[in-house]
Amino acid sequence: MAASGQPEQLKGVRRNMARVMADAHAKVVPTTLVDDADLHAWIGKQDITARLIRAIVTACKAVPALNAWFDGETLSRTLHPQVDVGIAVDTEDGLFVPALRNADMLDARGIREGINRLRAQVESRTIPASELTGYTISLSNFGMFAGRYATPVVVPPCVAIVGAGKLCFDVVAVIGGIEVHRRLPISLTFDHRACTGGEAARFLKALLDDLALPQ
């Protein structure tokens, strides 16, 4: 039986997304590390996305090699003193990645206000084109919908992206028995041309350690 669907030309955001992803696939040498952040020590209700961004900032300070751009043509890299986080926003029209600028200078409230502003601008399609470029590292919080681990796409010139999976409750072995802990699956994809596996692993550890803090 022949398929009955009709071909539809991609337009606008989806067309651009297709080009960006194809370019990334051709130019990046991706490797992914995965682990789980243990949130058992968290005190009270906390903003998970704000904590994720704080943890990314902490990890960038610990291992600057992942808060960088890489030029595959000249084999050169640029380490950034500031942390501008690209926040993946899924819409019916396709994927937008606005930049939360200077995340390293923001507290939890500032991070939340910045995210809300960017999301509102994306939804109303009023976000300036300049806010959709220039981020130094990115975050995909796909676990808001489903999925524990992923291989997020690194979009050049960035060298790393953090993926956060769906919150889950896992049985954890502790001294004297077992406990049920709330844990957050984390996936880190990085361009292996620009940083070593050791740098990526140390980055991931710094991120997990920050997320494990009570507040």
Question: Residue 136 maps to which CATH number?
Answer: 3.30.559.10
Model pLDDT for residues 180-215, shown as the tens digit of each residue: 999 999 999 999 999 999 999 999 999 999 999 999
Q: Looking at the domain assignment, is residue 25 inside a domain?
A: no
Q: Buried b vs exposed e over 90-117: b needs ≥16 C-beta within 10 Å?
A: eeeebbbbbbbbebbebeeeebeebbee
Phi, psi of 28 (to 5 degrees): -110, 145
Q: Looking at the domain assignment, is residue 1 inside a domain?
A: no
Q: Looking at the domain assignment, is residue 45 inside a domain?
A: yes
Model pLDDT for residues 91-117, shown as the tens digit of each residue: 888 889 999 999 999 999 999 999 999
Domain encompassing residue 198: 12-19+32-211
The number of distinct structural domains making up the chain is 1
pTM: 0.93
150 or 5, which is more confident: 150
> Would you put residue 102 in left (φ > 0), alpha (ψ -120 to 50) or beta?
left
SS3 state of residue 161:
strand
Q: Looking at the domain assignment, is residue 26 inside a domain?
A: no
Q: Looking at the domain assignment, is residue 187 inside a domain?
A: yes
Q: Looking at the domain assignment, is residue 162 inside a domain?
A: yes
Per-residue pLDDT band at 1 (split at 50, 70, 90): low
pLDDT exceeds 80 at position 3: no
Q: Looking at the domain assignment, is residue 141 inside a domain?
A: yes
pLDDT exceeds 70 at position 54: yes
Q: Looking at the domain assignment, is residue 53 inside a domain?
A: yes
